[in-house]
Chain A
Amino acid sequence: MADEMCLMKGNEAIGEAAIRAGCDAYFGYPITPQNELTAYMAKNMLDSGRIFIQAESEVAAMSMVFGASSAGGRAMTSSSSPGISLKQEGISYACGADIPCVIVNVQRAGPGLGGIAPAQGDYFQATRGGGHGDYYHIVLAPKSVQEAADLTYEAFGLADKWRMPVMVLADGLIGQMMEGVTLPPALEPGTRPGRPWAAGSGRPLARNRITSIILDPETLEASIHSRYERYAAIAKERTSFEEVEVEDAELLFVAYGTSARVCLGAVQAAREAGLKLGLFRPITLWPFPSERLATLAAAGKRFLAVEMSMGQMVQDVRLAVNGAAQVDFFGRCGGVVPREEEVLAVAKKLLGRDA
């Protein structure tokens, strides 16, 4: 099927990409600012004879995903920050039982009920394993409607390949805005990897048991270690980032998602005025592109992390740089989106160029 270019709202592009990636089952619950995604899935999943349920809660939706996936289906759920908090238990279980699935977080301001405007305050929750226990899962951060579609589409394949949840960490601005997007072609039937481990798949030769309980401490430790070996393999293979004008930059913005769009504008304005700024944009927040940042630090760069939060990703920047370079932070929170001018002003001040 040929690719098509169209104007779409971020939330809907995510939904369409999921359907084209072969999503068998979507379970969701209404929460602003991602309701268009749930509604899009309701119509289109039912139209194509697939599974759609508006669950009784985000908690239930996550367990529906767990069930559908453990029975062999490509399953997805979406929510926004408070609802993602509710899903943490289910995410921990999915990571502990190695269940592939896709979770979309269209972030809003917190904590608590907070606000419905965009924010990036769930970075810790997403990348530190927001639920209990030792685990990570892939976190992909799109910056545009196009990337939201591409990364959602890819998320299903990654989830199956690595047998884990994959989170698409967007924000309310990306979810709500409309941009041109070229959608990926629908997956050919029969091209998906099989799931011989799933309930209902192995008989009569095997009994498939999906479980995350291992009471013997040493056995549990060994199973966690083997999962972490998988994490190391993912870091080698799938860490990704985007670099804009970094080679000769005096200062690099480090930002993802909507913050990165803002910083991109600041980089362009700066360059027009003769100031050499650049942008380092992590695309995988986990695995975080630490190695590349360390290399840039060793090459003498300094960094200004810009986030729609009180400073979460900046901690990973500091860890990556490990004292070898100057790392500063600028953030807005509460649903406020920083502006190019203010971000540029901060960079200039740091460089002593605010005259």
Chain B
Amino acid sequence: MEVLYGHPKSLVSVQSKYCPGCGHGVIHRLVAEVVDELGMQEKSILLNPVGCAIWADLYFDMDTVQVPHGRTPAAATGIKRMRPDHLVICYQGDGDLAAIGTAEAVHAANRGEKFTTIFVNNAIYGMTGGQMAPTTLVGQKATTSPYGRDPGVAGMGYPIRVCEMLATLEGTKYLARGSVDSAANVRKTKQYIKRAFEAQLRGEGFSMVEILSPCPTNWQMSPAAAVDWLVSDMIPCYRLGEIKNELSTRETVGEGASLQGASLKGASLKGASLKGASLKGAAL
């Protein structure tokens, strides 16, 4: 019988420590699938920092480097500069990237470092038992926001949209946000990852794929309810799609994108979706 969908080669075949219904499992598999499709298992280096991602080195059958919390983009900078022909993958959660490691993320992005960041956004701190994250939604309860995240009186701030924030930096070339809530979104997210990895291999950077991911345990929901909450509450806050795509192979423009002032001279628009796009001032 022909296997249509089976276990990727660069993923270790073992039961993971991740909770039932955790998005990490799907995201690990997508990364491994793309690594396999690109034939890069022997030339990939994955960085696993603090967070549930710390376990990633148990599950990826490739070289890995465990790094201090938040320093992942800095260490990846060192690694990619030393081994530019390798596929260097930062695998970070929301604490690592958007709290303790924000400076490192911003500056690596600003330098246009050529590694790819996989940013797992589950709006909470998982490993340490459910504290508020920079990505926690207003009103969302966590152990350190027991009455719900309150930007007002309690001064707890607002959810940070990292893709949009990094998009303002010229060094960033590809920033996409996917989700693993449904099979359709899982497939789209894989396309984003593939596009980002291919960009890295062409020497284009900085690339990042942010992926909305359920955390049933710390959201205190069943896996199914967690997926529902992701769709009903997270997606309206963190819009899906290619937030920024300035790659040389840009094929599609995301819904609602503005091309104000863009030059499309010589660009290929084959298969492009321009729904809602504004072409004001574009030179064609």
| A→B interface (CB under 8 Å) | 24-25, 27, 51, 53, 55-57, 59-73, 75, 89-90, 93, 97, 199-200, 202-204, 207-213
Contact = CB atoms under 8 A, between A and B. Distances in A.
Contacts of A90: 68, 71
Given A56-B104, A71-B78, A71-B83, A212 B71 contact: no
B42 A72 contact: no
Interface stretch (B24-32, B54-62, B144-152, B215-223): B54-62
13 contacts: A51-B81, A53-B111, A64-B77, A66-B67, A67-B47, A70-B78, A71-B79, A89-B68, A90-B71, A199-B45, A209-B66, A210-B66, A211-B66
Contact of B104 (A63, A71, A202, A211): A63
A66 B107 contact: no
B82 interface: yes
Contacts of B77: 53, 64, 67
Contact of B68 (A57, A93, A207, A209): A93
Contacts of A75: 78
Interface in B40-96: 42-43, 45, 47, 54, 57, 61-68, 71, 74-79, 81-83, 86
Contact of B65 (A27, A51, A67, A204): A67
Contacts of B76: 67
Given A89-B68, A199-B45, A64 B78 contact: yes
Interface of B: 42-43, 45, 47, 54, 57, 61-68, 71, 74-79, 81-83, 86, 103-104, 106-107, 111
Nearest to A93: B68
Contacts of B74: 55, 59-61, 63-64, 67
A59 B71 contact: yes
B71 A57 contact: no
Contact of B63 (A25, A63, A73, A202): A202
Contacts of A209: 57, 63-66
Contacts of B106: 56
A66 B66 CA distance: 10
A63 B71 contact: yes
A27 B78 contact: yes
B53 to A, nearest CB: 12
B45 A93 contact: no
Given A67-B65, A200-B63, 9 more contacts: A24-B82, A53-B77, A60-B74, A67-B47, A70-B78, A73-B78, A75-B78, A203-B42, A211-B57
Given A56-B103, A60-B74, A204-B42, A68 B67 contact: no
B72 to A, nearest CB: 8
A68 B86 CA distance: 13
Nearest to A24: B82
Given A210-B64, A211-B57, A57 B103 contact: yes
B57 A60 contact: no
Contact of A93 (B57, B61, B67, B81): B67
A56 B65 CA distance: 21
Contacts of A70: 65, 75, 78-79
A207 B63 contact: yes
A40 B104 CA distance: 24
Contacts of B82: 24-25, 51, 67-68, 71-73, 200
Contacts of B107: 55-56, 60
Nearest to A27: B78
A97 B78 contact: no
Contacts of A60: 71, 74, 103-104, 107
Contacts of B68: 63, 66, 89-90, 93
Nearest to B64: A209
Nearest to B65: A210
A68 B64 CA distance: 13
B73 to A, nearest CB: 8
Contacts of A69: 78
